[in-house]
């Protein structure tokens, strides 16, 4: 499961990377308007491993970044998802959660389980 906080305060929940790629467009990612988190609330960074500027005779033809990948930020921050949820004002329809309160409860449970481990 992937969580994405959009710039308008909407929280989207995707089953997997394929669904996130389908619904989140490149400009929203490139501008930093969308922030991703995994099911444990860890910050994910979008990268474009296939990105290349295509040029013919020095003239830029396309700047198509190709599909994005999501990788862990490398900086553990247990409060990252809580900060994101405090900025969330709406939840996009999804099959797992009916409200932002349910999402918050999910991450509270994940946090308490990881602190016990």
What per-residue confidence (pLDDT) applies to 54? Answer: 62
Angle (CA) 31 80 108, round 5°: 135
The CA distance from 112 to 117, in Å, is: 9
What per-residue confidence (pLDDT) applies to 115? Answer: 66
Residue 111: pLDDT band (50, 70, 90) is: confident
**Which pair of tokens denotes residue 75?**
């900086």
Residue that wins the pLDDT comparison between 113 and 50: 113
- pTM higher than the cut 0.85: no
DSSP SS3 for 70: strand
Strands 2-5 and 90-91: unpaired
Alpha-carbon distances, residue 104 vs 7, 53, 95 (angstroms): 19, 41, 16
Query: Going by C-beta distance under 8 Å and a sequence separation of 6 or more, which residues neighbour residue 109?
Result: none
Convert the pLDDT of each residue in 16-72 to its tens digit.
999 999 999 877 787 778 999 999 999 999 887 755 566 667 665 555 556 788 998
For the chain, what are the domain ranges? 2-116
């Amino acid at each position: 499961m992937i969580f994405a906080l959009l710039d308008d305060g909407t929280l989207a929940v995707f089953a997997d990377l394929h669904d996130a790629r389908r619904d989140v467009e490149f400009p929203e990612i490139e501008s930093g308007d969308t922030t991703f988190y995994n099911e444990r609330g860890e910050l994910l960074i979008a990268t474009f491993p296939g990105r290349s500027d295509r040029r013919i005779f020095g003239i830029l033809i396309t700047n198509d970044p190709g599909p994005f990948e999501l990788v862990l930020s490398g900086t553990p921050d247990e409060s990252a998802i809580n900060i994101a949820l405090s900025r969330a004002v709406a939840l996009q329809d999804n099959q797992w959660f009916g409200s932002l309160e349910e999402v918050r409860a999910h991450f509270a449970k994940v946090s308490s389980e990881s602190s016990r481990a």
